[in-house]
Amino acid sequence: MAKVRTEDIIKQFDLELISGEEGIHKPITTSDISRPALELAGFFNYYPAERVQLLGRTEIVFSEGLAQHERKERMEMLCNDTTPAIVVSRGLEIPDELIEASERNSVPLMRTNMKTTRFSSKLTNYLDGKLAPTTAVHGVLVDIYGIGVLITGQSGVGKSETALALIKRGHQLVADDCVEIRQIEENLLVGSPPDLLEQLLEIRGLGIINVMTLFGAGAVRPSKKITLTVHMETWDENKHYDRVGLDEETIKIIDTEITKLTVPVRPGRNLAVIIEVAAMNFRLKRMGVNAAQQFTERLAQVIQGGEDGIV
Indicate the annotated binding residues for Mg(2+).
Answer: 160, 202
List residues with catalytic annotation: 138, 159, 177, 243
Q: Do the Cβ atoms of 192 and 180 come closer than 8 Å? A: yes
| Rg (alpha carbons) of the chain, rounded to whole number | 28
CB atoms within 10 A of CB 252: 9
- DSSP assigned state of 52: E
Q: Which helix or strand (DSSP H or E) is residue 179 part of?
A: strand 178-185
* Burial classification of residue 67, based on how many CB atoms lie within 10 Å of its CB (0-12 exposed, 13-18 middle, 19 or more buried): exposed
H or E element, residue 184: strand 178-185
Look at residue 76 and give its three-state secondary structure: helix
Pairwise CA distance, residues 292 & 226, whole Å: 23
What is d(CA 300, CA 306) in angstroms, rounded to the nearest whole number? 10
User: Can you spell out the DSSP letters for 130-165?
Assistant: HHS-EEEEESEEEEETTEEEEEEESTTSSHHHHHHH
Check if the beta carbon of residue 158 is closer than 8 Å to that of residue 265: yes
DSSP state of 235: -
Closest by Cα among 264, 199, 255, 215 to 235 = 264
Q: Which residues contact 117 (CB under 8 A, 6 or more apart)?
A: none
CA distance 11 to 256: 32
Q: Which residues participate in the annotated binding site for ATP?
A: 153-160
Number of H helices and E strands in the chain, helices first, is 10, 17
**Residue ranges of the binding site:** 153-160, 202
